[in-house]
Amino acid sequence: MNDTLTITFWGVRGSYPVASPATAQYGGATPCLEFSAGGQTLILDAGTGIIALGNVLARRAPQTLLLLLSHLHHDHTQGLPFFAPLYQAQTHLQIMAPAPADRALEKHLAQIMTPPYFPVRWDETAAQKTILPLAANAALEWNPDPAQPSLLIRALHSLAHPGGVMLYRIEWRGRAVVYATDVEGYAFADRRLISFAQDAAVLIHDAQYTTDEYLGLAGPAKQGWGHSTAAMALDVAQAARVKQLILFHHDPQRDDDTIARIVTQTQSATIQVMAARQGLKIELAPCPQTFDFFESPKVLATDPMG
């Protein structure tokens, strides 16, 4: 049995998708991550990156998929109408997202696919769909295949983004990965997030802006817009003692050379820092019986996908 947890980055760009030679290296699709463990597939966010993932998943046997949405902003949902398994009767798609104040989560999801904005209606798609609003501090086990160990999912609702956002901690066989996109750093760092991410193997953190952009030294100040700088992400990673920090939700106007420069400028003596790249795969082996505190995650490939 392949007992590793594999994370594949299908979309890493924030705000809106881009396609140009200057952004080809890190990729232009909006957020989508695939977590694969013991034959079970969990998806984080449904930006345009989910379209290429869906084309792979659609060729598989009947499957139960879990889609966790951080929030409903366009860049995290705009791939859903083009997600091929949504149109297959053999798919059971479970969707979990933060519960909106009006408790109408399914209605909000259906609005994404409503004429005149999209020709196919949500309730005309063939997949079996289960919509589950998540409480602010939800914790649950997900286990569509009882023969496999459960994936443990913890949620933390944050107001450090307009309208709020759900942060996720995924644990499998003693390894933890934290997904904290669309969050703005607080002064002295976000103490709740630091506690939530404590000792995780991998922290995937919003890093949309440079410090100059955030402070208004290059265009309008971005304070209050709901995104972090790479320095803010590193502060959280260091305080939480994670082993690897992956800078995520790249600004759509950021070219490849500048992303590489930001990584170079965001170094730590204790943490491996890298930028999320479309096509990046990270594999985490199960935690051994004797807890290996210093084991680093293994990077498998960084080839951009088609």
In sign, the C-alpha dihedral spanning 117, 14, 178, 10 is positive
Q: Which is nearer to Zn ion, 32 or 202 (CB)?
A: 32
Tokens of 70: 């951080």
Neighbouring-strand partners of residue 30: none
Rounded Cα gap, residues 115 and 260, in angstroms: 41
Residue whose pair of structure tokens reads 């709740």 in the numeric block: 192
Nearest approach in angstroms of CB 224 to Zn ion is: 13
Q: Which is nearer to Zn ion, 151 or 203 (CB)?
A: 203
Rounded Cα gap, residues 174 and 286, in angstroms: 6
Task: Quickly count helices (H) and strands (E) in the chain.
Answer: 6, 15
**Got the DSSP string for 90-145?**
TEEEEEEEEPPTTS-HHHHHHHHT-TTT-SS-GGGS-SEEEEEEEPTT-EEEE-SS
Nearest approach in angstroms of CB 268 to Zn ion is: 25
Nearest approach in angstroms of CB 248 to Zn ion is: 10
As to burial, measured by CB atoms within 10 angstroms (0-12 exposed, 13-18 middle, 19+ buried), residue 281 is middle
Helix (H) or strand (E) holding 169: strand 165-172
In sign, the C-alpha dihedral spanning 87, 90, 96, 102 is positive
Nearest approach in angstroms of CB 70 to Zn ion is: 8
Tell me which residues touch Zn ion (CB under 5 A).
14, 73, 75, 182
Nearest approach in angstroms of CB 284 to Zn ion is: 25
Neighbouring-strand partners of residue 122: none
Contact 257, 251 (CB under 8 A): no
Q: Which is nearer to Zn ion, 45 or 256 (CB)?
A: 45
Nearest approach in angstroms of CB 249 to Zn ion is: 6
Contact 27, 51 (CB under 8 A): no
Q: Which is nearer to Zn ion, 63 or 78 (CB)?
A: 78
Q: Which is nearer to Zn ion, 182 or 235 (CB)?
A: 182
Nearest approach in angstroms of CB 171 to Zn ion is: 24
Residue type present at position 85 = P
Q: Which is nearer to Zn ion, 115 or 224 (CB)?
A: 224
Q: Which is nearer to Zn ion, 73 or 175 (CB)?
A: 73
Nearest approach in angstroms of CB 192 to Zn ion is: 18
Cβ-closest position to Zn ion = 73
Q: Where are the beta strands (DSSP E) in 173-243?
A: 175-180, 202-206
37: three-class secondary structure by DSSP: strand
Other Cβ atoms less than 10 A from the Cβ of 257: the count is 10
Q: Which is nearer to Zn ion, 142 or 225 (CB)?
A: 225
